[in-house]
Amino acid sequence: MLEKIDRFVQVARSSPRFQNVISQRSAPAKESEVTALADLLAKVGMDDAARAPLLEFYGLHDGLTLRWELAELTHPDYITAGNTSITPLAPFLAKLARAREGLIPFDTTSDLRQVMIRVRGARPELRYFDADSGKDHPLDMDFARYFRLLDECRALRPWQEILIEAKSFKLEPVLRRKFFADLKLLFEDADPRLFGATRS
């Protein structure tokens, strides 16, 4: 899981192309906490297939932080960067136990934006919260797809926004074009079709 991120970090830390590289992947979460998470998700009705990737992630790492910037500019007005900070299991578990029907912070992508989870029934509901607007928008994916795409783009911003299909959310076309251009420039093994590109 997240093997592309692992390889990217090894390269980025020694490459002059990247700067401000911060990567922290903690040791596995406590077995008792992973078991408690599995039990709690089962109680709210999440099926085995839906919860397996989340349990696998926390069984390997108790949270994840990855931040990086490209040293060169690919657009005069926007930097090229990646950012993800997945919540360690203990606070995630505590919030989940208290607010099973509410939105629970899962992945912080910037000071103003984060991915939230609402656990309802067999499938989790992932939502992208934008503090600028005070609104959250649905992400049509489960944990397996979330981790897969995070790994594919190495947390390149704004990958979650690329996938928001809600009419209430508008992504500047320049940012969409920049994302796909940067993805192609930096990660030759990435598949842009996974993010909705009609051609590579």
pTM over 0.95: no
Distance in angstroms (rounded) separating the CA atoms of residues 44 and 57: 20
134: region left, alpha or beta (phi > 0 left; psi from -120 to 50 alpha): left
Residue 96 bridge partners (DSSP)? none
Task: Check whether 82 has a pLDDT greater than 80.
Answer: yes
Q: Give the model's pLDDT for residue 146.
A: 96
Domain layout of the chain by residue ranges: 3-188
Spatial separation of the C-alpha atoms in residues 87 and 99, rounded to whole Å: 16
Predicted confidence band of residue 199 (pLDDT cuts 50, 70, 90): very low
The 10s digit of each residue's pLDDT in 104-149 is: 899 999 888 999 998 877 788 899 998 888 889 999 899 999 999 9
pLDDT in tens, 18-51: 999 999 988 999 999 999 999 988 888 888 998 9
What is the reported pLDDT for 59? 95
